[in-house]
Amino acid sequence: MSNSTIRVRHAAPFAMILLVLLVTMLPPATPPTRANDLPWRDKGTPFGVVAALGNRVRSDEIDEAVTLMREAGVQWQREEIFWDKVQQAPNGPFDWDGDGSGFYDYDRAIEAQVSAGINVLGLLDYNPAWFKGKNPHPHEWIEDWGDYVYATVARYGRERGWIKYWELWNEPNLEKSGYQSGLYDVWDFVRILEVGRAAALAADPEAKIVMGGLASIWSEPPSPYNYDYFDYLEAVAQNGGWDEVDIIAIHPYRPDAPEGNPWRRDWAVTFRDEMRRLDEILWTYGSKPVWLTEWGWSTNNQWPGVDSDTQAFFLVRGYVLALAHPSIEKIFWYDFRNDTQPGAPYERPIYDDREVEFHYGLLRRTYPLDSNRGDLRKPAFVAYRTLTQMLGGLGLQDIRADGYKPGQENVYWYAFAGSGRRVDVLWRTTHSSPDLQINCNCRQAIVRGWNGQVKRILYTDDGELTFRLDATGAPMYIEYDPPVPEGGERFAATNHSLRGAFRQYWYINGGLSRFGYPLTEELIEPEFGSGRPRVVQYFERARFEHFPEFSGSSYEVQLGHLGTAALERKGVDWQSLPRVPGAPEECIYFAQTGHSLCPPFRAVWEEQGGLPLVGYPLTEAFETLNPETNEPYVVQYFERARFERHPELSGTPNEVQLGLLTRELLTSWGVMP
C-alpha cells in the first residue's frame, strides 16, 4: 500500500443518500414544449483527445506525452480511471499512484496535464475487481460503486480542484462494456447514473456529470446486448435517467467520410442527419450539451481503415462539421497514440497493420516516446495541430457552402472569426473544382494547406478574391489580413513585422537588399519528413526557418531552399539536368551538384554569404526572357536563391540582382490559380 492510499468509511453520509435512491424511483423526464431551435452551445474549448495517460503511457513517458499534447493544441483529455485498478477488495483502500509497473499512477498523470493547462474529463468505469468474470447483478455492488465515485471525485475534484467533469461509464449500449460488465438492461445503467451522480455531488457540489458515451452501431442489428444509441438514449430518458446528467456523450464513429451517406441497416444517414435525429431526442426530453467523447478513423490496412492522409483530411472535416452543429460543445479524437495488444511488453508493442483498434492514433506507436523522432507524428497529428492553431479562440460566423447549395454541390465552406482574426475552412468532395469568389474586405489573404503549409499569398485592392480548392478531400484555410503582433519592427510597405532572432539575422546578413520585405508574420509549418513544428517567415527573396535546438549559434536561423522549390514549380528536376565536367580557372566547380559558378555571379555569391546563405548552384548560368520586360537576361539557380544579370544595368551596382523568388512562388493579385 502506497503513501497516497486512503480509505473511505462506509458509514459516511453517502449511505443515507444511497438508501433514499434505492427506495425512490424517479419518474421519467417530462418532455418540455418544443423550442424553435436548440441553443448554441459554448464552443470555446472544443479540442479534445483520448490519451488515457494513466492506463496507456508509462510514468516515465508521461511528461513527453503531455509535451506532445501541448504541441498539438489539445484543450481537453479524457482520463479513464479504472475502478478495478484503484480498489482491489470491497471496503478496501484506494491506490491512486499505480501498481509499481509504471501504470495506473493517476495522481501523476492528472497533475501533469493540469499543470500544463489541459482540462481533464474523468471517466469512471467498470464493475469492481472482486466481481470480474462473475458479472453479478449491479445491486450486489452498487453501493461500492457509489463509494468509488465518491472517493475519486473527492480526491480530484473537491480536494485538488483538478477535475470538475465526470463521465460515468463507457459505451453501456454495447455488449462488451454493457451486458458483459454487469449492466443487463437500461435500468441498470440508470441506477449507475443515479448513484454516481449522488455520490459525485456529495463529494464535490461543483461536479458536472457526463452520461457514459454511447457508441454507434452500423451493421449489427440491435439486440438485448447491443442497442442503437438513439433507442438507448430514449430508454434512459423514459426510465428517469435524463435528469441525472448534465451532458450527453456519444461516440459517432462512421464507416466512411464525415460527409458520407452510408446505410445504417435500414436507412442512409449523413452525419448531419444523425445529429438532427439526436436533436429530436433533445427537443423531447430537454436540451443538453453534446460531447463527442470518442470519434476517429483508423489507418489499418483493411476495411474500414483509411490511408494516413485521408485520416488527416477526415479529422479536419469531421471537427468542422461537428463545430457547425449547435448542440455539440467538444470533440475528443480517439485516440492520441496508436494502441497495442493488451499485455504486450511496453518496449515491444504489437504493430499489426490489420488490427483496426491499433491505428486510430495521431502518433505512431514507438518506444521510447520521443518528440524528436522523425517517424512519430502521423499526418493526422499535423492536421490536428494546424486545426487548433488556425481555429483556436474563433467561433463559427457563417456557412457559405454546406455541400448542398445549387452550383456548389460537394463544396464545404465555413467562416470563423474572433480575437481580431478571420479564417475560412474549405474543401471539396468532388473531382471538379469550381471557381469560388468572395469579397473579403481585406488587403491580403494567406492560403494554407491542411498541414499548415503556406500555398498562396493573395493581394487585392477591391477586396475581391477568386480561388480554387485544393485536391479532392484536402481541407485548406484562408486567413484574411492576419493581425500583426505587438513588439516588432513593422514595415509599412507590406504591413508585416520583424522580431527576435529573425530580425537579428535579417539585419546581419544583408537586410532589405538581400531578403526583401517580410510578406508574412512568423508562422508554424511542418518540417519536411518529420512533421515537427518549425517557425518560419516569408520574405520577398527568402524563407527564414528557426531552429531553437541551435540557439545562440550561426545555425539558429536558416534559409529555406526556395531555388529548389522554384525549379520544381516549373517542372524541372535539377538532378536530371546535364552536368559539366569542370570549370575555367576564374570559376568554382562544385562536384556535389556538377555545376560551376563564374563571374560576375561568383563575386555576388561570395558577398551574399556563399554556401551557408546561397547554397550550391543547381544549374549553369543560362539566358532566358525576363517575364517583366520580355527582354533577355541571364539567370542561375542556387539552392536558396536565383541570381539575375540584367544587361541594361551593365556596369552598375545593380547589374546582378537576387530574384524575388517568394513573390513569384507564392503571391498573386486577387486570383489563386
C-alpha cell at 332: 475528443
Contact status, residue 333 vs residue 295, Cβ threshold 8 Å: yes
| Coil, strand or helix at 356 | helix
- β-strands 543-546, 557-559: how paired? antiparallel
User: How is residue 488 annotated by DSSP?
Assistant: S
Query: What gap in Å lies between CA 145 and CA 128, rounded to an integer?
Result: 8
Q: Average pLDDT, stretch 456-460? A: 95
Contacts of 25 (CB under 8 A, 6+ apart): 240
In angstroms, how far apart are the furthest CA atoms of the chain? Answer: 101
- Residue-wise pLDDT tens digits, 395-437: 999 999 998 777 778 999 999 999 999 999 999 998 888 889 9
Contacts of 135 (CB under 8 A, 6+ apart): 127, 180, 181, 182
C-alpha cell at 140: 450486489
C-alpha cell at 484: 500583426
Query: What gap in Å lies between CA 504 and CA 483, rounded to an integer?
Result: 22
User: How is residue 89 annotated by DSSP?
Assistant: S
Q: Average pLDDT, stretch 220-242? A: 89
Q: How far is CA 341 from CA 77, 126, 346, 358, 577, in A?
A: 22, 20, 10, 8, 50
Instruction: Please name which of 526, 391, 396, 388 lies closest in space to residue 453, comparing C-alpha atoms.
Output: 526
Contacts of 432 (CB under 8 A, 6+ apart): none
Q: Average pLDDT, stretch 82-95? A: 95
- Side chain identity at 54, as an amino acid letter? G
**More reliable by pLDDT, 3 or 507:** 507
- Side chain identity at 440, as an amino acid letter? C
pLDDT of residue 31: 42
pLDDT of residue 134: 80
- Residue-wise pLDDT tens digits, 22-65: 433 434 444 444 445 899 999 999 999 999 999 999 999 999 99
Quick one: 359 exposed, middle or buried, by C-beta within 10 A (0-12, 13-18, 19+)? buried
pLDDT of residue 569: 86
pLDDT of residue 10: 34
Mean pLDDT of the chain: 91
| Coil, strand or helix at 47 | strand
Query: What gap in Å lies between CA 603 and CA 510, rounded to an integer?
Result: 15
Contact status, residue 422 vs residue 390, Cβ threshold 8 Å: no
Q: Average pLDDT, stretch 362-383? A: 96
Q: Which residue has the cell 551593365?
A: 650
Contact status, residue 614 vs residue 641, Cβ threshold 8 Å: yes
Q: Average pLDDT, stretch 541-560? A: 94
C-alpha cell at 123: 471517466
- Residue-wise pLDDT tens digits, 650-667: 889 889 999 999 999 999
Query: What gap in Å lies between CA 635 and CA 286, rounded to an integer?
Result: 71
Quick one: 232 exposed, middle or buried, by C-beta within 10 A (0-12, 13-18, 19+)? buried
pLDDT of residue 36: 52
| Coil, strand or helix at 500 | helix
Residue 557 dihedral angles phi and psi, to the nearest 5° = -115, 130
User: How is residue 549 annotated by DSSP?
Assistant: G
pLDDT beyond 90 at 451: yes
Element (H, E) at 533: strand 533-538
- Side chain identity at 351, as an amino acid letter? Y
Instruction: Please name which of 77, 209, 197 lies closest in space to residue 146, comparing C-alpha atoms.
Output: 197
470 band by pLDDT with thresholds 50, 70 and 90: confident
| Coil, strand or helix at 457 | strand
Q: Where are the beta strands (DSSP E) in 266-336?
A: 290-295, 328-334
Instruction: Please name which of 574, 552, 549 lies closest in space to residue 561, comparing C-alpha atoms.
Output: 574
535 band by pLDDT with thresholds 50, 70 and 90: very high
For residues 564-586, one letter each, b for 16 or more C-beta atoms within 10 angstroms of the residue's C-beta and e for the rest, the string is bbbbeeeeeebeeeeeeeebeee
Contacts of 471 (CB under 8 A, 6+ apart): none
Structural domains of the chain sorted by starting position, each given as residue range(s) with its CATH number in brackets: 44-340+350-391 (3.20.20.80), 395-480 (2.60.40.1180), 489-560 (no CATH), 570-659 (no CATH)
C-alpha cell at 139: 445491486
Using only the alpha carbons of the chain, give its radius of gyration. Answer: 30
Q: What is the pTM of this model?
A: 0.92
Q: How far is CA 109 from CA 7, 61, 368, in A?
A: 21, 10, 18
CB atoms within 10 A of CB 54: 26
Instruction: Please name which of 99, 105, 95, 94 lies closest in space to residue 60, comparing C-alpha atoms.
Output: 105
CA 187 to the chain's CA centroid: 37
Query: What gap in Å lies between CA 534 and CA 539, rounded to an integer?
Result: 16
- Residue-wise pLDDT tens digits, 307-347: 999 999 999 999 999 999 999 999 999 999 999 998 899 99
Choose the weakest-confidence range: 25-29, 150-154, 598-602: 25-29
Q: Which residue has the cell 532589405?
A: 512
- β-strands 464-467, 671-672: how paired? parallel
Query: What gap in Å lies between CA 448 and CA 430, rounded to an integer?
Result: 20
14 band by pLDDT with thresholds 50, 70 and 90: very low
